[in-house]
Structure 1
Amino acid sequence: MATNEQGRSATRLAERLIELEGPKEVLLASGEWMAYRLERDGFQWLKGRNSLERRVDGRFERMRLEGSRWNKRGKLIEFSIVSLEVFDEGLKAWRQSNPGLTVERPESVEGIVCAASFLEISREAKVIVTLPSDRLAVVDGLCEHVREVALPWFSSSEDPENLAEVVSDALLRPTGFGQDLLEFLVSRGFHGEARSLIRRAISLGDSCSDAIREGRDLAISGGRPNWHSPQALGWSGEVLGLL
Protein backbone atom coordinates (compact mmCIF):
# COMPACT_ATOMS: atom_id res chain seq x y z
CA MET A 1 0.00 0.00 0.00
CA ALA A 2 2.77 2.42 0.93
CA THR A 3 4.62 1.54 -2.28
CA ASN A 4 1.52 2.25 -4.36
CA GLU A 5 1.03 5.59 -2.63
CA GLN A 6 4.67 6.52 -3.20
CA GLY A 7 4.28 5.59 -6.85
CA ARG A 8 1.21 7.78 -7.24
CA SER A 9 3.00 10.65 -5.51
CA ALA A 10 6.00 10.31 -7.83
CA THR A 11 3.68 10.26 -10.84
CA ARG A 12 1.99 13.47 -9.70
CA LEU A 13 5.36 15.19 -9.17
CA ALA A 14 6.57 14.09 -12.61
CA GLU A 15 3.36 15.27 -14.27
CA ARG A 16 3.65 18.69 -12.60
CA LEU A 17 7.23 19.08 -13.73
CA ILE A 18 6.32 18.25 -17.31
CA GLU A 19 3.05 20.20 -17.54
CA LEU A 20 3.91 23.52 -15.89
CA GLU A 21 4.94 26.45 -18.09
CA GLY A 22 5.95 29.42 -15.93
CA PRO A 23 9.64 29.65 -14.94
CA LYS A 24 8.91 30.08 -11.22
CA GLU A 25 6.47 27.17 -11.20
CA VAL A 26 8.92 24.95 -13.08
CA LEU A 27 11.68 25.83 -10.60
CA LEU A 28 9.46 24.83 -7.69
CA ALA A 29 8.42 21.62 -9.42
CA SER A 30 12.08 20.84 -10.14
CA GLY A 31 12.93 21.32 -6.48
CA GLU A 32 10.10 19.00 -5.46
CA TRP A 33 11.28 16.37 -7.94
CA MET A 34 14.86 16.69 -6.71
CA ALA A 35 13.67 16.19 -3.14
CA TYR A 36 11.88 13.03 -4.24
CA ARG A 37 15.00 11.75 -6.00
CA LEU A 38 17.26 12.71 -3.06
CA GLU A 39 14.87 11.48 -0.38
CA ARG A 40 17.05 8.47 0.41
CA ASP A 41 19.89 10.93 1.09
CA GLY A 42 17.72 12.74 3.63
CA PHE A 43 16.86 15.93 1.73
CA GLN A 44 13.55 17.78 1.74
CA TRP A 45 12.32 20.70 -0.39
CA LEU A 46 11.65 24.01 1.35
CA LYS A 47 9.86 26.08 -1.26
CA GLY A 48 9.85 29.19 0.90
CA ARG A 49 13.65 29.26 0.65
CA ASN A 50 14.01 27.54 -2.74
CA SER A 51 16.32 25.08 -1.07
CA LEU A 52 16.95 21.40 -0.50
CA GLU A 53 17.70 20.81 3.17
CA ARG A 54 18.87 17.97 5.37
CA ARG A 55 18.88 17.85 9.19
CA VAL A 56 20.67 15.13 11.18
CA ASP A 57 21.61 15.26 14.88
CA GLY A 58 21.82 19.04 15.13
CA ARG A 59 23.55 19.41 11.75
CA PHE A 60 21.80 21.34 9.01
CA GLU A 61 22.86 21.25 5.34
CA ARG A 62 21.34 23.37 2.61
CA MET A 63 21.52 23.62 -1.18
CA ARG A 64 19.87 26.73 -2.55
CA LEU A 65 18.37 26.90 -6.05
CA GLU A 66 17.95 30.06 -8.11
CA GLY A 67 16.34 30.77 -11.47
CA SER A 68 18.10 32.71 -14.20
CA ARG A 69 17.32 36.42 -14.50
CA TRP A 70 16.80 35.79 -18.23
CA ASN A 71 14.02 33.25 -17.75
CA LYS A 72 10.94 33.84 -19.88
CA ARG A 73 7.89 31.65 -20.41
CA GLY A 74 8.19 29.71 -23.65
CA LYS A 75 11.70 31.02 -24.30
CA LEU A 76 14.06 29.99 -21.52
CA ILE A 77 13.79 28.23 -18.17
CA GLU A 78 17.14 27.81 -16.47
CA PHE A 79 18.09 27.36 -12.84
CA SER A 80 21.21 26.67 -10.83
CA ILE A 81 22.32 25.29 -7.52
CA VAL A 82 23.97 28.46 -6.30
CA SER A 83 25.23 27.67 -2.82
CA LEU A 84 26.00 24.96 -0.26
CA GLU A 85 25.84 25.72 3.46
CA VAL A 86 26.43 23.78 6.69
CA PHE A 87 25.23 24.78 10.15
CA ASP A 88 25.61 23.06 13.54
CA GLU A 89 23.47 23.64 16.62
CA GLY A 90 26.26 22.58 19.01
CA LEU A 91 28.63 25.11 17.45
CA LYS A 92 25.98 27.82 17.73
CA ALA A 93 25.57 27.06 21.44
CA TRP A 94 29.35 27.08 21.97
CA ARG A 95 29.66 30.51 20.35
CA GLN A 96 26.82 31.90 22.44
CA SER A 97 28.49 30.55 25.60
CA ASN A 98 31.98 31.79 24.64
CA PRO A 99 31.56 35.25 23.08
CA GLY A 100 35.10 36.23 24.02
CA LEU A 101 36.55 33.35 22.00
CA THR A 102 34.80 34.14 18.73
CA VAL A 103 33.83 37.13 16.58
CA GLU A 104 30.55 38.83 15.83
CA ARG A 105 28.47 37.29 13.07
CA PRO A 106 24.97 38.02 11.79
CA GLU A 107 22.40 36.14 13.88
CA SER A 108 21.37 34.12 10.83
CA VAL A 109 24.81 32.47 10.67
CA GLU A 110 25.62 31.98 14.35
CA GLY A 111 25.82 28.24 13.72
CA ILE A 112 27.70 28.37 10.40
CA VAL A 113 30.36 25.70 9.84
CA CYS A 114 31.18 26.43 6.21
CA ALA A 115 29.65 27.46 2.89
CA ALA A 116 30.58 27.57 -0.78
CA SER A 117 29.32 28.82 -4.09
CA PHE A 118 28.35 25.70 -6.03
CA LEU A 119 28.95 27.68 -9.20
CA GLU A 120 32.65 27.82 -8.27
CA ILE A 121 33.13 24.13 -7.50
CA SER A 122 31.01 22.64 -10.27
CA ARG A 123 30.89 22.99 -14.03
CA GLU A 124 27.39 21.54 -14.10
CA ALA A 125 25.61 23.73 -11.57
CA LYS A 126 23.24 25.15 -14.21
CA VAL A 127 20.53 23.27 -16.08
CA ILE A 128 18.09 24.29 -18.82
CA VAL A 129 14.60 22.83 -18.51
CA THR A 130 12.78 24.83 -21.15
CA LEU A 131 11.52 21.78 -23.05
CA PRO A 132 8.97 19.79 -21.02
CA SER A 133 10.03 16.54 -22.67
CA ASP A 134 13.61 16.99 -21.38
CA ARG A 135 12.88 18.02 -17.81
CA LEU A 136 12.81 14.70 -16.00
CA ALA A 137 16.07 13.53 -17.56
CA VAL A 138 17.79 16.87 -17.01
CA VAL A 139 16.77 17.18 -13.36
CA ASP A 140 17.62 13.54 -12.73
CA GLY A 141 21.07 14.25 -14.15
CA LEU A 142 21.45 17.17 -11.77
CA CYS A 143 20.54 14.91 -8.85
CA GLU A 144 23.30 12.50 -9.83
CA HIS A 145 25.71 15.41 -10.05
CA VAL A 146 24.66 16.43 -6.53
CA ARG A 147 25.61 12.95 -5.33
CA GLU A 148 28.96 13.15 -7.09
CA VAL A 149 29.96 16.68 -6.03
CA ALA A 150 27.72 18.28 -3.40
CA LEU A 151 27.29 15.31 -1.05
CA PRO A 152 31.07 14.66 -0.78
CA TRP A 153 31.54 18.38 -0.11
CA PHE A 154 29.03 18.18 2.74
CA SER A 155 30.64 15.00 4.08
CA SER A 156 34.09 16.60 4.19
CA SER A 157 33.11 18.71 7.21
CA GLU A 158 30.97 16.10 8.92
CA ASP A 159 33.55 13.98 10.77
CA PRO A 160 35.75 16.01 13.17
CA GLU A 161 38.40 13.28 13.19
CA ASN A 162 39.06 13.65 9.45
CA LEU A 163 37.95 17.21 8.73
CA ALA A 164 41.42 18.76 8.86
CA GLU A 165 42.60 16.43 6.11
CA VAL A 166 39.64 16.33 3.75
CA VAL A 167 38.01 19.78 3.57
CA SER A 168 38.81 21.72 0.42
CA ASP A 169 41.72 24.16 0.27
CA ALA A 170 39.32 26.93 -0.71
CA LEU A 171 37.67 26.81 2.71
CA LEU A 172 41.02 27.44 4.43
CA ARG A 173 42.29 30.37 2.40
CA PRO A 174 42.16 33.95 3.76
CA THR A 175 38.55 35.20 3.97
CA GLY A 176 37.37 31.58 3.81
CA PHE A 177 35.84 29.48 6.58
CA GLY A 178 38.99 28.41 8.42
CA GLN A 179 37.94 30.16 11.62
CA ASP A 180 34.48 28.60 11.53
CA LEU A 181 35.86 25.11 10.95
CA LEU A 182 38.41 25.63 13.72
CA GLU A 183 35.69 26.63 16.17
CA PHE A 184 33.61 23.63 15.12
CA LEU A 185 36.49 21.31 16.00
CA VAL A 186 37.12 23.02 19.34
CA SER A 187 33.41 22.98 20.19
CA ARG A 188 33.52 19.18 19.77
CA GLY A 189 36.70 18.82 21.82
CA PHE A 190 39.01 17.98 18.89
CA HIS A 191 41.91 20.27 19.77
CA GLY A 192 44.58 18.15 18.09
CA GLU A 193 42.64 18.16 14.84
CA ALA A 194 42.17 21.93 15.22
CA ARG A 195 45.95 22.36 15.35
CA SER A 196 46.26 20.15 12.27
CA LEU A 197 43.80 22.41 10.48
CA ILE A 198 45.96 25.46 11.22
CA ARG A 199 49.11 23.66 10.05
CA ARG A 200 47.38 22.70 6.83
CA ALA A 201 46.24 26.30 6.26
CA ILE A 202 49.81 27.52 6.81
CA SER A 203 51.05 25.01 4.22
CA LEU A 204 48.83 26.55 1.52
CA GLY A 205 51.30 29.37 0.88
CA ASP A 206 52.63 32.73 1.97
CA SER A 207 49.30 34.56 1.78
CA CYS A 208 47.77 32.08 4.23
CA SER A 209 50.74 31.91 6.60
CA ASP A 210 51.10 35.71 6.60
CA ALA A 211 47.40 36.16 7.38
CA ILE A 212 47.63 33.69 10.26
CA ARG A 213 50.67 35.48 11.68
CA GLU A 214 48.87 38.83 11.42
CA GLY A 215 45.85 37.36 13.17
CA ARG A 216 48.00 36.04 15.99
CA ASP A 217 49.64 39.43 16.42
CA LEU A 218 46.21 41.05 16.47
CA ALA A 219 45.08 38.72 19.26
CA ILE A 220 48.24 39.36 21.30
CA SER A 221 47.68 43.11 21.02
CA GLY A 222 44.09 42.76 22.22
CA GLY A 223 42.42 43.41 18.89
CA ARG A 224 39.54 41.53 17.33
CA PRO A 225 39.08 40.84 13.59
CA ASN A 226 35.92 40.90 11.55
CA TRP A 227 34.29 37.63 10.54
CA HIS A 228 35.78 36.40 7.26
CA SER A 229 38.73 38.76 7.46
CA PRO A 230 42.16 37.32 6.55
CA GLN A 231 43.29 37.57 10.20
CA ALA A 232 40.35 35.58 11.63
CA LEU A 233 41.92 32.11 11.61
CA GLY A 234 45.21 33.21 13.22
CA TRP A 235 43.32 35.26 15.81
CA SER A 236 41.22 32.25 16.78
CA GLY A 237 44.27 30.01 16.88
CA GLU A 238 45.88 32.35 19.41
CA VAL A 239 42.86 33.02 21.65
CA LEU A 240 42.00 29.30 21.71
CA GLY A 241 45.55 28.37 22.68
CA LEU A 242 46.27 26.41 19.53
CA LEU A 243 49.32 28.31 18.27
Structure 2
Amino acid sequence: MATNEQGRSATHLAERLIELEGPKEVLLAAGEWMAYRLERDGFRWLKGRTSLERRLDGRLECMRLEGSRWNKAGKLIEFSIVGLEVFDEGLKAWRKSNPGLTVERPESVEGIVCATSFLDISREAKAIVTLPSDRIAVVDRLCEHAREVALPWFSSSEDPENLADAVPDALLRPTGFGQDLLEFLVSRGFHGEARSLIRRVISLGDSYRDAISEGRDLAIGGGRANWHSPQALGWSGEVLGLL
Protein backbone atom coordinates (compact mmCIF):
# COMPACT_ATOMS: atom_id res chain seq x y z
CA MET A 1 0.00 0.00 0.00
CA ALA A 2 1.36 3.43 -0.95
CA THR A 3 2.54 5.68 1.88
CA ASN A 4 3.71 9.26 2.17
CA GLU A 5 7.13 10.26 3.51
CA GLN A 6 5.84 10.19 7.11
CA GLY A 7 4.87 6.54 6.59
CA ARG A 8 1.11 7.10 6.65
CA SER A 9 -0.87 5.01 4.19
CA ALA A 10 -3.07 6.52 1.52
CA THR A 11 -6.04 4.84 3.19
CA HIS A 12 -5.26 6.50 6.53
CA LEU A 13 -4.83 9.93 4.93
CA ALA A 14 -8.06 9.57 2.95
CA GLU A 15 -9.99 8.44 6.02
CA ARG A 16 -8.78 11.44 8.02
CA LEU A 17 -9.74 13.85 5.26
CA ILE A 18 -13.23 12.34 5.03
CA GLU A 19 -13.94 11.89 8.74
CA LEU A 20 -12.75 15.19 10.26
CA GLU A 21 -15.31 17.93 10.89
CA GLY A 22 -13.58 21.14 12.01
CA PRO A 23 -12.51 23.53 9.22
CA LYS A 24 -8.92 23.84 10.51
CA GLU A 25 -8.53 20.09 10.91
CA VAL A 26 -9.95 19.48 7.44
CA LEU A 27 -7.53 22.02 5.96
CA LEU A 28 -4.58 20.29 7.60
CA ALA A 29 -5.79 16.89 6.42
CA ALA A 30 -6.27 18.26 2.90
CA GLY A 31 -2.70 19.58 2.98
CA GLU A 32 -1.44 16.13 3.95
CA TRP A 33 -3.45 14.55 1.15
CA MET A 34 -2.12 17.06 -1.37
CA ALA A 35 1.43 16.31 -0.25
CA TYR A 36 0.73 12.62 -0.81
CA ARG A 37 -0.62 13.30 -4.29
CA LEU A 38 2.24 15.69 -5.14
CA GLU A 39 4.96 13.57 -3.56
CA ARG A 40 6.25 12.42 -6.95
CA ASP A 41 6.74 16.10 -7.79
CA GLY A 42 8.91 16.52 -4.70
CA PHE A 43 6.50 18.35 -2.37
CA ARG A 44 5.96 17.78 1.34
CA TRP A 45 3.49 19.26 3.80
CA LEU A 46 4.62 21.79 6.44
CA LYS A 47 1.70 21.91 8.85
CA GLY A 48 3.01 24.85 10.86
CA ARG A 49 3.19 27.02 7.74
CA THR A 50 0.18 25.42 6.01
CA SER A 51 2.48 25.15 3.02
CA LEU A 52 3.41 22.56 0.42
CA GLU A 53 7.16 22.87 -0.10
CA ARG A 54 9.80 21.48 -2.43
CA ARG A 55 13.56 21.73 -1.87
CA LEU A 56 16.30 21.10 -4.41
CA ASP A 57 19.94 22.27 -4.32
CA GLY A 58 19.33 25.21 -2.01
CA ARG A 59 16.10 26.22 -3.77
CA LEU A 60 12.80 26.29 -1.90
CA GLU A 61 9.44 26.46 -3.65
CA CYS A 62 6.29 27.03 -1.58
CA MET A 63 2.55 26.76 -2.22
CA ARG A 64 0.72 28.32 0.70
CA LEU A 65 -2.80 27.24 1.65
CA GLU A 66 -5.36 29.28 3.57
CA GLY A 67 -8.85 28.60 4.83
CA SER A 68 -11.78 30.90 4.11
CA ARG A 69 -12.69 33.44 6.77
CA TRP A 70 -16.31 32.29 6.38
CA ASN A 71 -15.60 28.66 7.31
CA LYS A 72 -17.98 27.08 9.82
CA ALA A 73 -18.27 23.39 10.63
CA GLY A 74 -21.31 21.86 8.95
CA LYS A 75 -21.93 25.01 6.90
CA LEU A 76 -18.84 25.78 4.80
CA ILE A 77 -15.31 24.43 4.62
CA GLU A 78 -13.26 26.06 1.90
CA PHE A 79 -9.55 26.63 1.35
CA SER A 80 -7.38 28.01 -1.42
CA ILE A 81 -3.85 28.00 -2.72
CA VAL A 82 -3.16 31.65 -1.96
CA GLY A 83 0.47 32.20 -2.85
CA LEU A 84 3.56 30.84 -4.58
CA GLU A 85 7.08 31.74 -3.42
CA VAL A 86 10.63 30.85 -4.44
CA PHE A 87 13.68 31.24 -2.20
CA ASP A 88 17.35 30.48 -2.88
CA GLU A 89 20.05 29.92 -0.26
CA GLY A 90 22.85 30.97 -2.62
CA LEU A 91 21.10 34.26 -3.31
CA LYS A 92 20.59 34.83 0.40
CA ALA A 93 24.31 34.30 1.01
CA TRP A 94 25.22 36.63 -1.87
CA ARG A 95 23.06 39.40 -0.45
CA LYS A 96 24.62 39.02 2.98
CA SER A 97 28.10 39.18 1.45
CA ASN A 98 27.29 42.16 -0.78
CA PRO A 99 25.11 44.54 1.28
CA GLY A 100 26.20 47.52 -0.81
CA LEU A 101 24.89 45.88 -3.99
CA THR A 102 21.39 45.14 -2.76
CA VAL A 103 18.59 46.75 -0.74
CA GLU A 104 17.14 46.09 2.68
CA ARG A 105 14.47 43.39 2.92
CA PRO A 106 12.69 41.81 5.88
CA GLU A 107 14.76 38.98 7.34
CA SER A 108 12.06 36.47 6.40
CA VAL A 109 12.61 37.14 2.69
CA GLU A 110 16.38 37.59 2.51
CA GLY A 111 16.54 34.73 0.02
CA ILE A 112 13.47 35.66 -2.04
CA VAL A 113 13.67 35.10 -5.80
CA CYS A 114 10.04 35.80 -6.69
CA ALA A 115 6.48 35.37 -5.48
CA THR A 116 2.93 35.74 -6.71
CA SER A 117 -0.63 35.51 -5.51
CA PHE A 118 -2.04 32.28 -6.91
CA LEU A 119 -5.36 34.07 -7.09
CA ASP A 120 -3.83 36.36 -9.75
CA ILE A 121 -2.83 33.52 -12.07
CA SER A 122 -5.66 31.04 -11.52
CA ARG A 123 -9.45 31.05 -11.57
CA GLU A 124 -9.57 27.66 -9.84
CA ALA A 125 -7.53 28.34 -6.71
CA LYS A 126 -10.16 27.21 -4.20
CA ALA A 127 -11.49 23.88 -2.99
CA ILE A 128 -14.90 23.63 -1.32
CA VAL A 129 -14.75 20.53 0.86
CA THR A 130 -17.84 20.95 3.03
CA LEU A 131 -19.26 17.55 2.06
CA PRO A 132 -17.04 14.70 3.28
CA SER A 133 -18.02 12.51 0.33
CA ASP A 134 -16.69 15.11 -2.14
CA ARG A 135 -13.38 15.88 -0.46
CA ILE A 136 -11.04 13.40 -2.15
CA ALA A 137 -12.24 14.28 -5.65
CA VAL A 138 -12.21 18.03 -4.99
CA VAL A 139 -8.72 18.05 -3.50
CA ASP A 140 -7.44 15.80 -6.28
CA ARG A 141 -8.71 18.31 -8.85
CA LEU A 142 -6.87 21.10 -7.04
CA CYS A 143 -3.68 19.01 -7.11
CA GLU A 144 -3.97 18.54 -10.87
CA HIS A 145 -4.63 22.24 -11.31
CA ALA A 146 -1.51 23.01 -9.27
CA ARG A 147 0.48 20.77 -11.61
CA GLU A 148 -0.90 22.66 -14.60
CA VAL A 149 -0.44 26.20 -13.26
CA ALA A 150 1.87 26.36 -10.23
CA LEU A 151 4.58 23.97 -11.40
CA PRO A 152 5.19 25.78 -14.72
CA TRP A 153 5.30 29.07 -12.79
CA PHE A 154 7.99 27.64 -10.52
CA SER A 155 9.90 26.27 -13.52
CA SER A 156 10.04 29.69 -15.21
CA SER A 157 12.65 30.92 -12.69
CA GLU A 158 14.47 27.63 -12.16
CA ASP A 159 16.98 27.69 -15.03
CA PRO A 160 19.22 30.80 -15.02
CA GLU A 161 20.14 30.24 -18.67
CA ASN A 162 16.52 30.71 -19.79
CA LEU A 163 15.05 32.84 -17.01
CA ALA A 164 15.12 36.17 -18.87
CA ASP A 165 12.73 34.81 -21.52
CA ALA A 166 10.75 32.39 -19.37
CA VAL A 167 9.45 34.39 -16.38
CA PRO A 168 5.96 35.91 -16.68
CA ASP A 169 5.61 39.61 -17.45
CA ALA A 170 3.76 40.12 -14.17
CA LEU A 171 6.96 39.45 -12.22
CA LEU A 172 8.71 42.26 -14.10
CA ARG A 173 6.30 45.13 -13.50
CA PRO A 174 8.00 48.19 -11.94
CA THR A 175 7.01 47.22 -8.39
CA GLY A 176 7.47 43.48 -8.97
CA PHE A 177 10.40 41.11 -8.65
CA GLY A 178 12.67 42.28 -11.47
CA GLN A 179 15.38 43.33 -9.02
CA ASP A 180 15.23 40.02 -7.15
CA LEU A 181 15.45 38.02 -10.35
CA LEU A 182 18.34 40.18 -11.54
CA GLU A 183 20.24 39.57 -8.30
CA PHE A 184 19.54 35.85 -8.56
CA LEU A 185 21.15 35.77 -12.00
CA VAL A 186 24.17 37.79 -10.85
CA SER A 187 24.60 35.59 -7.76
CA ARG A 188 24.86 32.60 -10.10
CA GLY A 189 27.29 34.35 -12.42
CA PHE A 190 24.87 34.84 -15.33
CA HIS A 191 25.66 38.47 -16.12
CA GLY A 192 24.72 38.16 -19.79
CA GLU A 193 21.34 36.75 -18.90
CA ALA A 194 20.93 39.55 -16.34
CA ARG A 195 21.45 42.12 -19.10
CA SER A 196 18.93 40.25 -21.25
CA LEU A 197 16.42 40.53 -18.42
CA ILE A 198 16.90 44.30 -18.28
CA ARG A 199 16.48 44.56 -22.07
CA ARG A 200 13.26 42.57 -21.85
CA VAL A 201 11.89 44.85 -19.13
CA ILE A 202 12.74 47.93 -21.21
CA SER A 203 10.87 46.40 -24.16
CA LEU A 204 7.67 46.14 -22.10
CA GLY A 205 6.87 49.84 -22.46
CA ASP A 206 7.63 53.45 -21.63
CA SER A 207 6.70 53.19 -17.95
CA TYR A 208 9.16 50.31 -17.50
CA ARG A 209 11.93 52.17 -19.34
CA ASP A 210 11.27 55.34 -17.36
CA ALA A 211 11.40 53.45 -14.04
CA ILE A 212 14.75 51.93 -14.96
CA SER A 213 16.09 55.35 -15.97
CA GLU A 214 14.95 56.84 -12.65
CA GLY A 215 16.61 54.03 -10.74
CA ARG A 216 19.84 54.48 -12.64
CA ASP A 217 19.84 58.21 -11.90
CA LEU A 218 19.20 57.46 -8.24
CA ALA A 219 22.22 55.15 -8.10
CA ILE A 220 24.48 57.60 -9.95
CA GLY A 221 23.44 60.29 -7.47
CA GLY A 222 24.40 58.10 -4.52
CA GLY A 223 20.85 57.29 -3.48
CA ARG A 224 19.45 53.92 -2.54
CA ALA A 225 16.27 52.34 -3.86
CA ASN A 226 13.64 50.68 -1.71
CA TRP A 227 12.71 47.05 -2.27
CA HIS A 228 9.76 46.74 -4.66
CA SER A 229 9.98 50.41 -5.63
CA PRO A 230 9.73 51.35 -9.33
CA GLN A 231 13.39 52.44 -9.22
CA ALA A 232 14.72 49.16 -7.77
CA LEU A 233 15.62 47.36 -11.01
CA GLY A 234 17.35 50.36 -12.60
CA TRP A 235 19.22 51.03 -9.34
CA SER A 236 20.48 47.45 -9.26
CA GLY A 237 21.35 47.49 -12.93
CA GLU A 238 23.58 50.50 -12.35
CA VAL A 239 25.29 49.38 -9.11
CA LEU A 240 25.90 45.92 -10.59
CA GLY A 241 27.47 47.37 -13.75
CA LEU A 242 24.83 46.00 -16.09
CA LEU A 243 23.62 49.26 -17.66
> Which TM-score tier does this pair reach, normalised by the shorter chain?
over 0.9
Aligned-partner residue type, residue 66 of structure 1: E
Q: What's the offset of the Cα at 1:5?
A: 5.7
Does the 8 Å CA contact 2:2/2:10 hold for their aligned counterparts? no
Q: In structure 2, what is the equivalent of residue 80 of structure 1?
A: 80
Q: How does 1:1-243 map to 2 (within 5 A)?
A: 3=1, 9-243=9-243
Unaligned runs of 5+ in 2: none
Instruction: Percent identity, please.
Output: 88
- CA shift, 1:4, in A, is 6.0
* SS of residue matched to 1:226: coil
1:36: Cα distance to partner?
A: 0.1
Report the Cα distance in structure 2 between the residues aligned to 1:216 and 1:74, rounded to whole angstroms: 57
> Amino acid of the residue matched to residue 151 of structure 1?
L
CA distance in 1, matches of 2:183, 2:53: 23
Amino acid at match of 2:48: G
Partner letter of residue 237 of structure 1? G
TM-score between both structures, scaled by the size of structure 1: 0.97
Aligned length: 241
Cα offset, 1:206, TM superposition:
1.2
Cα RMSD (Å): 1.1
Moved over 3 A (4+): 3-8
For residue 49 of structure 2, give the secondary structure of its aligned residue in structure 1: coil
Deviation (angstroms), 1:34: 0.1
Q: Which runs of 5+ in 1 are unaligned?
A: none
Find the residue that maps to 1:159 and give its secondary structure.
coil
Q: Distance in 2 between matches of 1:186 and 1:230?
A: 20
Q: CA deviation at 1:168?
A: 0.3
Please state whether the residue corresponding to 2:69 is helix, strand or coil: coil
Task: State how far apart, in whole Å, the 2-side matches of 1:230 and 1:222 are.
Answer: 17
TM-score (normalizing by structure 2):
0.97
